[in-house]
């Protein structure tokens, strides 16, 4: 076990600026827990139990009051708020997950985890990542990714995006997001062909040294410069940026496989299934 770092606890960066177009509302606020909790309430509770020091919520202007107010009322941890739409050229559609983290760079002044506000990762997964963030493995040029079995992250029906990973000697050597992954009569498939149900995938539960947020900011500046007239479809995705840095030899990513149960909300019809799962842990 790596020795702990000096200083305070890590931060939890919650990405809560998505539009929720397929859901039709604010996914991070959907009441799914036994006491009406949202998924992010349960993730924050797990983070507090794992020794995290604060929450950094990434929002956009239209949802800032609702998301920040909800978290400040319910969170056992202090809450800081970053506005994703305050960084870079303005557009109606958020620029993507890497841009979301970059927008919070000035608040991410300690080792930090990145998590989706509309996913539930499990206490074991959050705890393992918190341990990594407090260890001496968390340093510039190194990151961590909690990985799940592909099969355990798919809904019963309908296509979703996932980021399958290639892992060698405990390191993530490739991660790239794929759209259109779904269950079929012939097994799990994407547009590119069949996929192994046991394949490790990223669900955007990452761990980074505080310097990495500035790295993402620099990368976004280059990305935006290459898209001077954005259509709204370009995405500055965290898996893509990490994958490029790994390929260039600038970053090593420790794989942290977990058996934790993952739950998430993509569409409105997912709410009932998540409620049922949380009612029967």
- Domains of the chain, with CATH numbers? 11-279 (3.90.550.10)
In tens, the pLDDT along 44-64 reads: 999 999 999 999 999 988 889
Three-class SS of residue 233?
coil
Give pLDDT, residue 19: 54
Average pLDDT, the chain: 90
Q: What is the 3-state secondary structure (H, E, C) of 21-70?
A: CCCCCCHHHCCCCCCCCCHHHHHHHHHHHCCCCEEEEEECHHHHHHHHHH
Residue 276, classified by CB atoms within 10 Å of its CB into exposed (0-12), middle (13-18) or buried (19+), is exposed
In tens, the pLDDT along 71-112 reads: 999 999 999 999 988 887 877 788 889 999 999 999 999 999
Is the Cβ–Cβ distance between 281 and 141 less than 8 Å?
A: no
Say which DSSP state 140 is in: T
């Amino acid at each position: 076990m790596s020795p702990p770092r000096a200083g305070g606890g890590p931060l939890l960066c919650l990405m809560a600026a998505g539009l929720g177009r397929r859901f039709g509302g604010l996914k991070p606020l959907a009441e799914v827990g036994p006491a009406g909790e949202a998924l992010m309430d349960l993730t924050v509770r797990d983070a507090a139990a794992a020794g995290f020091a604060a929450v950094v919520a990434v929002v956009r202007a239209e949802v800032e009051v609702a998301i920040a107010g909800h978290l400040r009322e319910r969170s056992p941890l202090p809450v800081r708020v970053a506005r994703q739409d305050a960084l870079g050229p303005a557009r109606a559609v958020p620029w993507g997950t890497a841009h979301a983290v970059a927008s919070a760079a000035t608040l991410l002044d300690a080792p930090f985890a990145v998590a989706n506000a509309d996913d539930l990762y499990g206490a074991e997964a959050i705890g393992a990542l918190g341990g990594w963030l407090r260890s001496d493995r968390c340093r510039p040029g190194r990151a961590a990714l909690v990985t799940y079995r592909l099969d355990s992250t798919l809904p019963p029906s309908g296509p979703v995006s996932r980021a399958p990973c290639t892992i060698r000697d405990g390191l993530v050597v490739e991660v790239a997001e794929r759209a259109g992954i779904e269950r079929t009569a012939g097994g799990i498939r994407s547009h590119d062909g069949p996929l192994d149900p046991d394949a490790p995938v990223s669900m955007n539960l990452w761990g980074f040294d505080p310097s990495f947020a500035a790295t993402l900011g620099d990368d976004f500046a280059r990305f935006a410069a290459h898209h001077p007239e954005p259509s709204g479809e370009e995405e500055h995705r965290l898996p893509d940026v990490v994958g490029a840095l790994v390929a260039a030899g600038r970053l090593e990513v420790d794989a942290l496989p977990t058996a934790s149960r993952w739950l998430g909300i993509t569409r409105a019809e997912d709410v009932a299934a998540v409620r049922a799962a949380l009612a029967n842990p």
